Structure 1
Amino acid sequence: MEMTIFFPALLLILKRVAFSASLLASGAETVGPFNSHTTLVFRHVVSNIGNAYNPNTGFFTAPVRGAYHFEFYIYGPGHASHPTGAVLTKNGAHIFIAYEHQPTHGANAANGVTLLLEVGDIIFLRQWQNSRIHDSQNRHTTFSGHLLFPM
């Protein structure tokens, strides 16, 4: 939904953009480990206002230039050889990582970032190589973002 505000000689369109998703659409699964960083596709979409998140690719594509905030929470089963980790990327470049290595029990990691994005910039998460990530109907592993304000 767009809201239009009229100012003398200025037309400003405020786009509403927000999404929140968990890794699995159904069931329970531990993903990985993989030999290289692997794109995570968050398939259980709770909200996708503005349709900027694509649950088929895992990509968020900025529809307007602005300041955006993203958060991601990663859960994995503890393992002596396999950590739990994911990195947030902007146009394929690593920005922030959430990483935990717990030899037993569960491992939780989280991070967040505010970024200035241009129209068409792509944000997504990659699973860290050699790591394991778990999700279930409890929605342990999530990815969310929203437009703070257009610029």
Structure 2
Amino acid sequence: MERKEVTSLSMGTTVFSLLLLGCCLCGGQTVKTTTSVIPSDSQQYVHVVSLAQLSVKVNYLQRENEAQAVKLEQQKSQVDMLKTQLQAQAAALASLKAKSTVTESTVKALQKDVKVKQVAFSASLLASGHGFTGPYNAHTNLVFKHVTTNIGNAYNPHTGVFTAPVRGVYHFQFYVGAYGHGSYPSGAVLVKNGHHIFIAYEHQTSGYGSSSNGVSLLLEVGGVVFLRLWHNTRIFDNGNHHSTFSGHLLFTM
């Protein structure tokens, strides 16, 4: 009886001991697990340093961004200034171009005016050969076909008419020659706009005779001057160019 009680007690003690050991083991694992979850002081320091470094980087980037913004604003101002300068230069160029156009037009007008003011012509009656022109029963316009000078092209060798290109005073001179004849003298009259002005006339029965005359006339633009053979007269010319008609502009008005 006592032996059984001792055995039961021994078994109980053993069970208790095992349970206690299990609790201790379990308790040890729990403490170990808790220790691994809670960070140590060194880990906390590393986190703090990393955050500080990150904050420094962020601040640096912010300052860099601000500097870039300032620089961009300065560049924008420079671009605006360059645009303004470019617009001013474009306006100046346009003004110079306009002045150049005006100057060019003025030069052309002056050149044209000078060219118009250069007027002179001289021509003889026959273009080639020799012979008489006339006599005719009525006054007949003479056409001086052999042109030696025609500056300004105011004289028309097809009609014998001089047309004034500008208003001014012109001087004209003409010579009329012919061999003497008992019935036919030689003579020609200068005509201005349909009106007889001056005549050159001579009559001799033998030999060669000539007459001449000249006049200065105020002509408007488009005014005309030419020579007419006087009725019942004749005029001679050959390669020596005896009978001539000349004129030139003295000055404009």
Q: TM-score, normalising length from structure 1?
A: 0.92
Indicate the residue corresponding to 1:80 in structure 2.
182
Equivalent in the alignment of 1:92: 194
Which of the two has higher C-alpha Rg?
Answer: 2
Give the superposed CA RMSD.
1.5
Partner of 1:9: none
C-alpha distance in 2 between matches for 1:3 and 1:29: 46
Q: Which ranges in structure 1 are unaligned for 5 or more consecutive residues?
A: 6-11
Matches within 5 A, 1:2-151: 4=110, 13-14=113-114, 15-151=117-253
Runs of 4+ in 1 over 2 A off after TM superposition: 2-5
- Tell me by how many angstroms 1:4 deviates: 2.2
More helix by share: 2
Deviation at 1:77, TM superposition (A): 1.2
RCO (CA 8 Å, sep 6+): is it higher in 1 or 2? 1
The 3 A distance-change label for structure 1 pair 117 and 33 is same
Shift of 1:3: 8.2
Amino acid at match of 1:105: G
Higher strand share: 1
Alpha-carbon distance in 2 for matches of 1:3, 1:134? 43
CA–CA separation in structure 1 for the residues paired with 2:244 and 2:109: 29
Q: Secondary structure at the match of 1:13?
A: helix
Alpha carbons 1:77, 1:132 under 8 Å: kept = no
Q: Unaligned 5+ residue runs, structure 2?
A: 1-107
Whole-angstrom CA distance in 1 between matches of 2:122 and 2:203? 25
Q: Which amino acid aligns with 2:110?
A: T
